[in-house]
Structure 1
Amino acid sequence: MGRDRRRVAIVGFGPRGLAALEALVRRASGAGAALAVDVFEPSSWPASGPSFSPGESESCLLNLPVRSIDLPPPPFAREGEGSFADWMGLTGGDGEAYLPRARLGAYLNARFETLLAQLPSHITVTRRAVRVTEARRGGEGWHLYAQGVAHGPFGHVLLSLGQPETASDDQLCRWQDHADRHSLPLRPAYPGKGLIDAAEDWAGRVVGIRGMALSALDVVRMLTLGLGGRFAGSSYIASGREPARIVPFSLDGHAPAPKPLNAKLDARFDPSQEESAAFEEALRAGLSEQPGSGLELVRGVLESAALRVIRAGGGAIQPDEVREWLELESERPGSQEQRGTLDALCAGISQAEGREPPAIGYTIGQLWRKWQPLLRRVFDSASVSAATAQEFVSFDDGLKRYSYGAPVETARQLRMLIETGLVDPRAADDPDITLTPQGWKLHSGGHTVTASVMIDAVLPQPALAPVTEPLVAGLRQGLALKPLGDGLGARCAPDAALIAADGVRVAGLALVGRLANGSAIATDSIHDCFGSIPDRWAQSVLSALPDQGASPS
C-alpha cells in the first residue's frame, strides 16, 4: 500500500499540469521523497496545451506583453535564468512585444523537456500519450483507463483538463443542424490553422463571428493576416483571399478595451501600497460576509483608488459617479456602455494611448487587473460559500472586457478594418438572427446582413454541468464531482482536493483549472496556472506520503 501511495498521476498536461509537476518535483527534491509520476497527455506538445500549441497559427497573439509574463522560475534554474524573455533572447524594449501564443507554448514544452533531463534519481516522470476516459477508486488507490488499458493504482490523481468537451448550447445546436442541412460552413475558432485552411475557400463570402472577445480578435487576424493580408502604416493591403466582409456580433456589440500602450502608461494604474493593503483587508472580510455585502466592501476600495487615478490623469470625476458605476456593474455587467462599436473602440484606444483621461470603467478594469494576483491568493485559499463565489466570479467575468484586454496594435488594426469596410460591426449589438437557406440573417440597429459562413468564437463557460468529457461525466455521476453552485465549477478545497456531495474530501483526487471556477477565481490566465493552488496540492501530496525508506517501483 505504501508503495502505491507514492505513485502520482497528472491527467491533462498543459501549462497548469506543468506547474503542478514542477511544484511536486521542487518539494519532493527538497524532502528527498521518492515519487513515480505518470503524466497523461495525448497531444504532440506536452506542457503547452491547445491555447499555446507551438503548431498554432502565429496570428493568435498573447494578450500580455513580454514584460508582464512573470512566471516562477523552473526547478533547478540558476538565479536570473529560465524566464520566457531569457529563453526568447529578448531584452530592453522587446519587453513591450505581444508575441504569438505559439512561442510561449514552445517555451513551456522546452521547460518540460529540460525538467525531465534534470530529475534526481528518486523521482521518475513517465509521459503517456493517451486520453484518460475513466477513473475508478479501489482499495489500493485510483485506476485510470485509457484505450482499454488500466493504469495505476495511484495514491494521488490531479485532474488538469483545461477546457474539456462540453455540450453545445441550444443556439449552437440549432445552428449546427441548419448548417448540416444546407451545407453551410460552421466552424470553431480553434485550432487556428484549420480555420485558415478552410478560409481559403471563403473569398468573396460574408463570414459571421459569434462573439467579440479575444477569440474573435484572433479570428479577425486569421481571416486577414492569416490569409496573406498585411498592414502598412494606416492602410490594410489585402491579399485578395479574404472574405468580402467579416461580421462580428455579441450580446453587447463591443470588443475588449486595449491594455495601456506601454509600461509608463500602465504604471498610471498601479495601486499604492496602502490601497493594496486596504483591498486585501476588504477582500478577506468580504469573503466571509453574507452574500450581497462582501463585494460592497471591495467596491469601496476600488472607488477610492479609481478616483485618485482618474483625477491624476486629468479627469473631472465625483465619488458618487464611481459609486454608481460600480453598483450598476455589479447588477448588470457591461450594461453601461451605450456607444456604438467603433466609437467605444476608438475611446478605448485613446485612453490606452494616454491621449484622453481614463474613464471609470477603463480605470476600474486596469486596477482589477493589477489586483488579480492578490485576488487569487486570497480567494483561492479561502472556503467561500456558493452565493459569495458567484457574486465575485460574476464581477470578475464582467470586468474581463478591460482586465483581459487586447494589445493596442490589435485594437488599431480592428479600427482600420472597420473603417475600410472589411469588418462590418453595424449588426454587432445583440442582433436578431434568422436562419435561411443562404445562411444566418443578422438584423440589429436597422442594419441587416446575411452571413453564409459562421465562426463560433464563444468559449464555453467554466461550469461543471455542461461538460460531456467521459472522464468528468463518469466522476460526476459517481458524485466525486459536485458543482459548487449553478453555473460554477466543482467544489474543491484550497489544496484542489475535490469535495464530494456529502461534503467529504475525495481521497486522492484533486482538480485544478477552469472546472474549479468558484472554488478558484480568475482561472483564465497563464499566471493562474503557476499560482498557489498547484503548490498547495503538491504540499498535500508530500505530506500524505508514508516513510520514504524505499524507492517506488
Structure 2
Amino acid sequence: MNTLAIIGIGPRGLFALEKLLQNLSVFNKKLNIIGFEPIDNIGAGDVWMTNQDASNWANISERALQDLKGRPEIIYNKDVIQPFPAYSDWANTYQPDSNPDIFPLRSKIGKYLNERYNSLEIQNLYSITFKLIQEKVLAVKPVKNKLQVFTDNENYYDVDDVLITIGHQPTKLSTQMKSWKKHASMHENLQVYENSYPLSQFEHLDNETDIVIGIRGFGLSMVDVMRGLTTSTFGRFKITNSETFKTVFIDNPDKKILLVPFSLDGKPLAPKPLNNIIDQLFKPTAKDLISLKTQIESVARTNSEASNINFLIEPVANISTKIFSNSNLNTKSHALHKNQLQELILKWFENEDIDHKLIANKKTYSTYALIKKYIDMALYKDKISLDYCLGQVWRHCQPTLYQSLSHSKLKKDLLKKIIDLDERIKRYSYGPPIESMQQMVALIESKVLNLDYINDPKIELSDKGWNLINSKNNSIKTTLMIDSVLDAPKLLKVDSALIKQLLNDDLIQPIHSELGIETDSNGIVQSACVTYNSKISLLGRLSKGSIIGADSILECFGKQVEDWAKNYIKNLT
C-alpha cells in the first residue's frame, strides 16, 4: 500500500485530505497518509490561527464566504465520515443585500477550519491509516524508489509520494532590511521587526509613553499593524455613524504614539463596496464571464507565441466599458464614446498613473483626500471613478482569469506581466473593509498616523534611529521599524529549509526567475534533474506562475485541489 506525505495541513492541506478520502471511496483504493503540521490549529494554518490577535481582520466578507462549500458525507468501506456545513451555515451569517458586509476576524475562520478538520476524526477510521506528525519538515530526499521526509526533531519517514501544501514562506532579507537590522544591533535603543505577525510581538510597546514607529509598506498587513498598535494602551476607536462606519480615535492622554508608514509609490488601498446591492453594480453578466473565459483560453491554452497581454485586457476592457457606461452606475460624467472609453481603460491597464479626469489618483488628490474619496465611492456617496470601477470589475473577473490562465502555454515573461498586473490591481480588488479605512482616516485626523512621508522617502541611518526625509525636505526620526510588506512567492528568494533543499537538489525549479515553482496541470513539480521521475506534488502559493491565483481562502478549496486528488487516486496502484 502506498504512503503519501502531506506537508502542511492548513486550509489547502485540509481540503486535499477531504478530497483524497472522497476519491478513495469512489475508486475503492487504499492509501496510508502521514500529515506534517507543526502548529496546533490543524486545518487553520498560520494565517487563520484561532488564538491570534483580534486586530487581524479577514479581507473577505461573510457574503463572499458563501462560496466556501461544506463537505458531503463520505462513505469509505466500513467508515462513515459525517458531513460538515458550509461556512455560511456554520456561522449563520445570511443577511439582506442592503446590510453592510461583515468582515470576520481571521481567528473565526480559523475556528471553522479547525473544527472541520477535527470532524473528520481521521485517526479513528478503520479503512485508512493516518498519522499526524507535529514536526517541521526540513527536507525531502529521494532514496531508490522512495522518498524520505526529514523533520526538525531529527526523525525521518519513508513515503512513496509527497504533496506540499505550505503557505507563505520566509524570504531572504533585502539589502535594506539587512542594513537596518545591522544598524539596530549596534544601538541598544533601536528595534527592527522583519515581519508584521504575530502582533503579540509588539506587546512590550504597551509600556512606552512616547514613541515614533516607521512602517514599511502601505497594504493590508500595515492596516492590521496600525490597528493592533493603536488599540492596545494608546487609545480606542469609536464608530460615530453606523451607516458609514465614520470613526473617531479616542487617545490615552497619558501616552503618545505616532505611526509613519511609507512605500515605494504611496498609493492607498480602496475599500470594497459597502453591501451586495452596490457590489452587484460592478458584476459582469454570466454571459460576459463565459465569453471572457473562451477568449482567454483560445490564446492561453493554444498559443505559445502570443507577444502581449491584449488577449486578456481587451475583453476585460470591453466588459468594464459596458459596466461603467451603465446608467444605473453613478459615475463621473464624461463625453467619451464607447471606443474612446475602452481605449482609456486599456491605457490604464498599461499605466495606472495616466492623467485623466475620470481617474482618481495622486496627481489630483493627496493621499488623505484619495482615501476619503475611495471610502465615499465604496459607500456609493460619491461618483464612481474609472479606476475604482475597474478594480471592482477585475475582482469579479478574477476567478475566471485564474482558472483560464493556470498551466497555460504562454511565454513565461508574459505570465510575469499578467501576474504583475493582477498584483497591482489588488489594492482595489483585495481592498479592506470600509471600517478599516475609516479607522485610518480617524488616526490621520488625530495626528496619530502621519502620511507626510508615505511616498518613497529618503532614509538615513543615525545613532538615534532612522531619519525619513520627504520630497519637501522635511524629516522625522523613528527608533523602531516594522516591515509590513508581504513578499511575493519568488522561488529563488524563499528562505525556508525545505524549499532551499529541494531547489539545491534540483528536485524543483522556478517557472520564471521572478516567479514560483513550475508544476504541471496535475500539480506535479517539474524537476531540473532530467533523470528523476518526480513523486512530489505542490499546490498553492509557491506555484505562482504555473497557476495565477493562489492567495484567497476560496482558492484553497478550489478546483486545483479537486483535480489533483482525483488524478492522484485514479492513478494509484
- Partner of residue 194, structure 1: 200
Backbone CA RMSD of aligned residues = 2.4
Please say if residues 166 and 469 of structure 1, whose CA atoms lie closer than 8 Å, have aligned partners that are also in contact.
yes
- Going from structure 1 to structure 2, the CA distance change for 1:153 and 1:19 (only over 3 Å counts) comes to same
Please say if residues 27 and 570 of structure 2, whose CA atoms lie closer than 8 Å, have aligned partners that are also in contact.
no
Q: Which whole-Å CA distance do the structure 1 matches of 2:398 and 2:533 have between them?
A: 29
Indicate the SS of the match to 2:147.
strand
Name the amino acid aligned to 1:329.
Answer: F
Structure 1 position 414 matched with structure 2 position 457: no
Give, in angstroms, the shift of residue 505 of structure 1: 7.7
Indicate the SS of the match to 1:236.
strand
Indicate the SS of the match to 1:127.
strand
Match of 1:91 among 72, 91, 94: 94
Per mean C-alpha deviation after superposition, the further-off stretch among 439-448 and 344-353 is 439-448
Name the amino acid aligned to 1:323.
Answer: E
Match of 2:349 among 309, 329, 335: 329
Q: Which whole-Å CA distance do the structure 2 matches of 1:423 and 1:113 have between them?
A: 42
Give, in angstroms, the shift of residue 120 of structure 1: 4.9
Q: Which whole-Å CA distance do the structure 1 matches of 2:90 and 2:133 have between them?
A: 27
Please say if residues 100 and 274 of structure 2, whose CA atoms lie closer than 8 Å, have aligned partners that are also in contact.
no
Match of 2:263 among 239, 246, 250: 250
Indicate the SS of the match to 1:497.
coil
Q: Which whole-Å CA distance do the structure 2 matches of 1:242 and 1:348 have between them?
A: 31
Give, in angstroms, the shift of residue 506 of structure 1: 4.3
- Partner of residue 181, structure 1: 186
Name the amino acid aligned to 1:300.
Answer: E
- Going from structure 1 to structure 2, the CA distance change for 1:75 and 1:272 (only over 3 Å counts) comes to same
Indicate the SS of the match to 2:172.
coil
Indicate the SS of the match to 2:535.
strand
- Partner of residue 243, structure 2: none
- Partner of residue 314, structure 1: 330
Q: How does 1:122-201 map to 2 (within 5 A)?
A: 122-147=127-152, 149-183=154-188, 184-201=190-207
Please say if residues 188 and 456 of structure 1, whose CA atoms lie closer than 8 Å, have aligned partners that are also in contact.
yes
Q: Which whole-Å CA distance do the structure 1 matches of 2:570 and 2:23 have between them?
A: 10
Q: Which runs of 5+ in 1 are unaligned?
A: 547-553
Give, in angstroms, the shift of residue 323 of structure 1: 2.5
Give, in angstroms, the shift of residue 301 of structure 1: 1.6
Q: Which whole-Å CA distance do the structure 2 matches of 1:225 and 1:455 have between them?
A: 17
- Going from structure 1 to structure 2, the CA distance change for 1:345 and 1:289 (only over 3 Å counts) comes to farther
- Partner of residue 248, structure 2: 235
Structure 1 position 296 matched with structure 2 position 310: yes
Give, in angstroms, the shift of residue 383 of structure 1: 4.4
Give, in angstroms, the shift of residue 523 of structure 1: 1.4
- Partner of residue 399, structure 1: 425
- Going from structure 1 to structure 2, the CA distance change for 1:75 and 1:507 (only over 3 Å counts) comes to farther
Give, in angstroms, the shift of residue 95 of structure 1: 8.0
Give, in angstroms, the shift of residue 329 of structure 1: 3.2
Q: Which whole-Å CA distance do the structure 2 matches of 1:87 and 1:53 have between them?
A: 18
- Partner of residue 550, structure 1: none
Please say if residues 206 and 232 of structure 2, whose CA atoms lie closer than 8 Å, have aligned partners that are also in contact.
no
Per-residue CA shift, 1:57-114, capped at 9, x if unaligned? 0111011110101213124289996122322233325882111101101110111000
Per-residue CA shift, 1:379-403, capped at 9, x if unaligned? 2253443122112111111111111
Structure 1 position 71 matched with structure 2 position 68: yes
TM-score, length basis structure 2: 0.89
Q: Which whole-Å CA distance do the structure 1 matches of 2:182 and 2:140 have between them?
A: 33
- Going from structure 1 to structure 2, the CA distance change for 1:80 and 1:545 (only over 3 Å counts) comes to closer
Q: How does 1:54-65 map to 2 (within 5 A)?
A: 54-65=50-61
Give, in angstroms, the shift of residue 372 of structure 1: 1.5
Please say if residues 26 and 75 of structure 1, whose CA atoms lie closer than 8 Å, have aligned partners that are also in contact.
no
Give, in angstroms, the shift of residue 540 of structure 1: 2.4
Please say if residues 432 and 442 of structure 1, whose CA atoms lie closer than 8 Å, have aligned partners that are also in contact.
yes
- Going from structure 1 to structure 2, the CA distance change for 1:154 and 1:50 (only over 3 Å counts) comes to same
Q: Which whole-Å CA distance do the structure 2 matches of 1:413 and 1:146 have between them?
A: 43
Give, in angstroms, the shift of residue 140 of structure 1: 3.4
Name the amino acid aligned to 1:210.
Answer: R
- Partner of residue 244, structure 2: none
- Going from structure 1 to structure 2, the CA distance change for 1:263 and 1:505 (only over 3 Å counts) comes to farther
Q: Which whole-Å CA distance do the structure 2 matches of 1:253 and 1:325 have between them?
A: 22
Sequence identity (%): 26
- Going from structure 1 to structure 2, the CA distance change for 1:159 and 1:397 (only over 3 Å counts) comes to same
- Partner of residue 514, structure 2: 487
Please say if residues 11 and 44 of structure 2, whose CA atoms lie closer than 8 Å, have aligned partners that are also in contact.
yes
- Partner of residue 436, structure 1: 462
- Partner of residue 82, structure 1: 85
Indicate the SS of the match to 1:244.
strand
Q: How does 1:21-40 map to 2 (within 5 A)?
A: 21-40=17-36
Give, in angstroms, the shift of residue 242 of structure 1: 6.1
- Going from structure 1 to structure 2, the CA distance change for 1:533 and 1:242 (only over 3 Å counts) comes to farther
Per mean C-alpha deviation after superposition, the further-off stretch among 167-176 and 143-152 is 143-152
- Going from structure 1 to structure 2, the CA distance change for 1:544 and 1:231 (only over 3 Å counts) comes to same
- Going from structure 1 to structure 2, the CA distance change for 1:60 and 1:243 (only over 3 Å counts) comes to farther
Per mean C-alpha deviation after superposition, the further-off stretch among 430-439 and 286-295 is 286-295
Indicate the SS of the match to 2:53.
coil
Please say if residues 214 and 478 of structure 2, whose CA atoms lie closer than 8 Å, have aligned partners that are also in contact.
yes
Please say if residues 140 and 502 of structure 2, whose CA atoms lie closer than 8 Å, have aligned partners that are also in contact.
yes
Per mean C-alpha deviation after superposition, the further-off stretch among 433-442 and 235-244 is 235-244
- Going from structure 1 to structure 2, the CA distance change for 1:434 and 1:149 (only over 3 Å counts) comes to closer
TM-score, length basis structure 1: 0.92
Q: Which whole-Å CA distance do the structure 2 matches of 1:111 and 1:95 have between them?
A: 27
Indicate the SS of the match to 1:442.
strand
Q: Which whole-Å CA distance do the structure 2 matches of 1:124 and 1:524 have between them?
A: 31
Name the amino acid aligned to 1:89.
Answer: N
- Going from structure 1 to structure 2, the CA distance change for 1:226 and 1:310 (only over 3 Å counts) comes to farther
Q: How does 1:536-551 map to 2 (within 5 A)?
A: 536-546=563-573
Indicate the SS of the match to 2:492.
coil
Per-residue CA shift, 1:500-542, capped at 9, x if unaligned? 1257884210112221110011211111111121122212221
- Partner of residue 112, structure 1: 117
Q: Which whole-Å CA distance do the structure 1 matches of 2:531 and 2:519 have between them?
A: 10
Match of 1:354 among 372, 376, 380: 380
Please say if residues 216 and 457 of structure 1, whose CA atoms lie closer than 8 Å, have aligned partners that are also in contact.
yes
- Partner of residue 221, structure 1: 227
Q: Which whole-Å CA distance do the structure 1 matches of 2:282 and 2:520 have between them?
A: 33
Match of 2:276 among 263, 287, 306: 263
Per-residue CA shift, 1:226-270, capped at 9, x if unaligned? 445222414211235765211111111122100001011011111
